[in-house]
Structure 1
């Protein structure tokens, strides 16, 4: 079943497009392995590199991926449980300095990602088709549980592309 435009805010359209046509659970699992390989391949001198003033470092970008996945996972959990409480947005730029990415080791970042991604995979595996199409409100807009799964996948792909293009 393909996603309808009514299942997400247009802001997330690029991430959803990047997640592709494969079932998002497969893409989540593929991203689990790709993260470890990709992060391991980044040269040490690039981990705390920012390509311009005011831009995040590679480590900060990776921690942003983890933080955002936690937020999207939490939203999916709440909507799946039929929680009708509108959920607020989050200010990603406020989260980045609090992540302390610059003092984390590559190994710590990888381990944290693997923990969060495995949790996402287990959560989404527990959902049936009826739950996947449940809707909630996040950041003032409707969002389905399955759209959040696609957003998690596409968000990782997007930021890997950014790292390849601007940081390496």
Structure 2
């Protein structure tokens, strides 16, 4: 599936920024490329930057990394449920509540990187298991329709979005 195959009804307009940032890409290739690029990117982050926040009230770098991991897990579960024709309406999640509960200050860069690699590898395996028909299945999350394919593109765009923020504001 390519980004150009998405329909406007495949996702909430809130996610348009993430989709637009990708350009014309193949879903499975972008998920795999994101893993390699982000793994390399995080490996170069100085350890002393993990607990740095660029402004009062902003997340630390470690919290931002955990946010990426948590979001991947939540959206991965949505994709699985939608692909299996689950008719439940999935609630949104409050990213700030998740960050507060995550205890990011107690994590090492290595543990965060290991967890990201595990979660993204799992996402890649999941999306590789989907047929083209599965990618077009839809469910409801955060009171909006969303397709399985859109979930994968949102994950990719979300990762790129936060990588850019980390580059600009944390490093």
**TM-score, normalising length from structure 2?**
0.96
**In structure 2, how many angstroms separate the alpha carbons of the residues matched to 1:18 and 1:79?**
24
What count of residue pairs does the alignment treat as equivalent?
168
Match of 1:84 among 71, 83, 87: 87
Alignment RMSD, CA only? Answer: 0.9
Once the two structures are TM-superposed, the CA of residue 101 in structure 1 deviates from its matched residue by 1.1
Once the two structures are TM-superposed, the CA of residue 151 in structure 1 deviates from its matched residue by 0.3
1:73 aligns with 2:70: no
Deviations 1:87-116 (A, max 9, x none): 000000000021111111111001100110
Match of 1:34 among 37, 41, 50: 37
1:117 aligns with 2:112: no
Q: For residue 133 of structure 2, what is the aligned residue in structure 1?
A: 130
**TM-score, normalising length from structure 1?**
0.97
1:141 aligns with 2:150: no
Once the two structures are TM-superposed, the CA of residue 34 in structure 1 deviates from its matched residue by 1.3
**In structure 2, how many angstroms separate the alpha carbons of the residues matched to 1:47 and 1:39?**
10
Once the two structures are TM-superposed, the CA of residue 22 in structure 1 deviates from its matched residue by 1.4
SS at match of 2:89: coil
Deviations 1:39-67 (A, max 9, x none): 11112221110011110011100000000
Match of 1:102 among 99, 102, 105: 105
1:162 aligns with 2:165: yes
**In structure 1, how many angstroms separate the alpha carbons of the residues matched to 2:88 and 2:158?**
24
**Which ranges of structure 2 fall in alignment gaps of 5 or more residues?**
none
**1:38-53 maps to which residues of 2 (within 5 A)?**
38-53=41-56
Q: Is the 8 A contact 1:35 1:110 kept in 2?
A: no
Q: Is the 8 A contact 1:133 1:145 kept in 2?
A: yes
1:152 aligns with 2:148: no
**In structure 2, how many angstroms separate the alpha carbons of the residues matched to 1:53 and 1:44?**
20
Once the two structures are TM-superposed, the CA of residue 24 in structure 1 deviates from its matched residue by 1.4
